[in-house]
Amino acid sequence: MVEKMRDQFAAGGIPEPTIDEMIDAAVDSCRTMDWSSDLLACYDNADNAQDIEKCAPLMTSEQTEDFTRRMMEIVSRMNAPTPSP
């Protein structure tokens, strides 16, 4: 899912290493939270962000919470100020 949005994320200024981390987090969430075959098929067939959004209702509340938490942790680190030397 995140892999399909790589170009959109990059165009929005998200660095490649952060995008890679988001992809790894999505894959880990998928494996850990045992995403359904219907959900995986929905993401596989998605061609754009609007299609991906249509897959969200196929996630359980626990899956949504886990995925969102993982993405927010990455984004918060990305937006955190760098410490002064």
Q: Dump pLDDT digits (tens) for 1-19.
A: 667 788 888 888 889 999 9
CA dihedral 29, 31, 32, 37 (to 10 degrees): 90
Q: Please state whether the predicted TM-score (pTM) of the whole model is above 0.85.
A: no
Residues present in the chain in total? 85
Q: Where are the domains of the chain?
A: 3-76
> How sure is the predictor about 49, in pLDDT bands with cuts at 50, 70 and 90?
confident
Instruction: Decide if 37 contacts 81 (C-beta within 8 A).
Output: no
